[in-house]
């Protein structure tokens, strides 16, 4: 029985979701897959998969994600609720957007091994410290003193000024960190790529980077035609793969 | 149209701009235009997140200082032992001050 909950967010058609699940089943156990749906309610109802939930949150459905402070908080909180319904079965949470593709059959085992080796509570892609830098997302938030003051109010660490960023398309959490972070109510809109790693850090959890795997997680260019090559180059996952579920 | 102009400006900045190097490692961080304007330094085209700082000087000079740039090392903070989710946060509450306004800078 898997100890990893594989949480996949998508807004695509029910047909695309079925093809996506069929693909994922070749890499992780079916019973470990949960679909968090951010499309329309009517489309959600047609998805033929039992482990699914509908996320009715306008802050998930942003267009200009950074300026509108896109949030995954509600989505992940619903996943935390799902975790509780399964008792202690799942000790880790692997979150992935629909276009963040698993490429290896022992993905979860590799993630657990790396998390353990790093002594980490959260493994994410492109983790950087950005306070005091020219990072655009940090500067956009730093214009609001509430953002700066918030971390000082909640931190368990000696330096309240630390702000971390990560790439939002995927991450691997230890359950304790996941549930503790998601038990917190988001105080005001904060872009999720800053909010999640910074909150985890200030609550005392160790946030680490996927290191060499960052190379296979990029921002803009669709990687659908690059899957085999990425696998040969040692990728565990690949992002963004936009067209694989089209038909 | 605006996106096209912005892309063009960025292309120019990253071609003819000054080479930015990490102050500590010497690693190249790319090119960017640095333009002084109305008492500020405008940095155009720099892709990497860096901290600006005045460079320490081995020789005391009163007439010139240099601003340099440095990347943070990859975050590697230790884990702080948890004492239970109910005690998360300095205030001992899993509900941080959701509505608390700490910013009193407006004087309201």
Substitution target from B7, B45, B77, B93 for chain A, most A beta carbons within 10 A: B77
- Distance (Å, whole) CA A22 – CA A20: 5
Our CA angle for B62, B65, B68, nearest 5°, is 165
Across the range A3-12, mean pLDDT stands at 97
Rg of chain B over Cα atoms, rounded to whole angstroms, equals 21
Predicted confidence at residue A236, as pLDDT, reads 98
Please, are residues A111 and A4 in contact by the beta-carbon 8 Å criterion? yes
Strands A237-238 and A101-102: antiparallel
> Taking all residues of chain A, what is their mean pLDDT, rounded to a whole number?
95
pTM: 0.90
Shortest distance between the Cα of A176 and any Cα of chain B, in A, equals 8
Query: In which band, very low, low, confident or very high, does the pLDDT at A144 lie, cut at 50, 70 and 90?
Result: very high
Q: Residue A175: closest CA among chain B residues belongs to which residue?
A: B85
A129: pLDDT strictly greater than 70: yes
Predicted confidence at residue B84, as pLDDT, reads 54
Across the range A175-179, mean pLDDT stands at 97
State the complex-level ipTM.
0.89
How does DSSP classify residue B79? P
Strands A52-54 and A33-37: parallel
Substitution target from A136, A145, A182 for chain B, most B beta carbons within 10 A: A145
- SS3 of residue A189 by DSSP: coil
**Cβ of residue A161 closer than 8 Å to a chain B Cβ:** no
Chain mean position to CA B97: 27
Inter-chain contacts counted by CB atoms under 8 A, chains A and B = 109
Map tokens 């809109």 to a residue. Answer: A189
Question: What percent of chain B is modeled with pLDDT above 90?
Answer: 61
Shortest distance between the Cα of B61 and any Cα of chain A, in A, equals 26
B86: pLDDT strictly greater than 60: no
Map tokens 């230790």 to a residue. Answer: B78
Query: In which band, very low, low, confident or very high, does the pLDDT at B99 lie, cut at 50, 70 and 90?
Result: very low
Shortest distance between the Cα of B101 and any Cα of chain A, in A, equals 7
Predicted confidence at residue A207, as pLDDT, reads 98
Using CB atoms, which residue from B80, B99, B103 is nearest to A156? B80
Across the range A57-72, mean pLDDT stands at 90
């Amino acid at each position: 029985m898997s100890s990893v909950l594989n949480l996949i967010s998508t807004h695509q058609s029910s047909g695309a979701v079925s093809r996506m699940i069929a693909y994922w089943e070749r890499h992780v156990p079916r019973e470990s897959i949960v679909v968090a749906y951010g499309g329309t309610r009517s489309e959600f109802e047609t998805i033929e998969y039992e482990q699914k939930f509908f996320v009715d949150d306008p802050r998930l459905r942003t267009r200009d994600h950074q300026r509108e402070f896109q949030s995954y908080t509600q989505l992940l909180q619903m996943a935390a609720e799902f975790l509780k319904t399964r008792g202690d079965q799942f000790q880790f949470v692997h979150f992935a957007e629909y276009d963040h593709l698993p490429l290896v059959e022992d993905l979860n085992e590799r993630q657990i091994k790396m998390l353990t080796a790093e002594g980490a509570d959260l493994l994410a892609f492109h983790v950087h410290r950005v306070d005091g830098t020219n990072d655009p997302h940090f500067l956009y938030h730093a214009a609001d003193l509430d953002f700066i003051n918030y971390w000082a109010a909640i931190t368990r660490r000696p330096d309240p000024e630390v702000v971390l960023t990560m790439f939002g398309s995927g991450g691997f959490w230890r359950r304790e960190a996941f549930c503790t972070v998601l038990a917190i109510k988001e105080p005001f809109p904060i872009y999720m790529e800053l909010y999640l790693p910074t909150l985890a850090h200030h609550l005392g959890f160790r946030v680490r980077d996927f290191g060499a795997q960052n190379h296979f997680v990029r921002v803009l260019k669709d990687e659908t035609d690059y899957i085999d090559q990425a696998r040969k180059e040692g990728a565990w996952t690949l992002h963004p793969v936009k067209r694989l579920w089209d038909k | 149209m605006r996106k096209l102009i912005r892309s063009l400006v960025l292309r120019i900045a990253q071609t003819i701009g000054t080479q930015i190097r990490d102050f500590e490692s010497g690693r190249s961080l790319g090119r960017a235009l640095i333009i002084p304007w109305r008492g500020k330094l405008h940095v155009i085209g720099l892709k990497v997140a860096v901290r600006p700082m005045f460079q320490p000087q081995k020789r005391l000079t009163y007439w010139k200082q240099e601003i340099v740039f440095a990347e943070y090392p990859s975050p590697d903070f230790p884990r702080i032992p948890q004492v239970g989710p109910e005690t998360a946060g300095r205030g001992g509450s899993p509900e941080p001050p959701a509505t608390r306004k700490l910013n009193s800078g407006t004087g309201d």
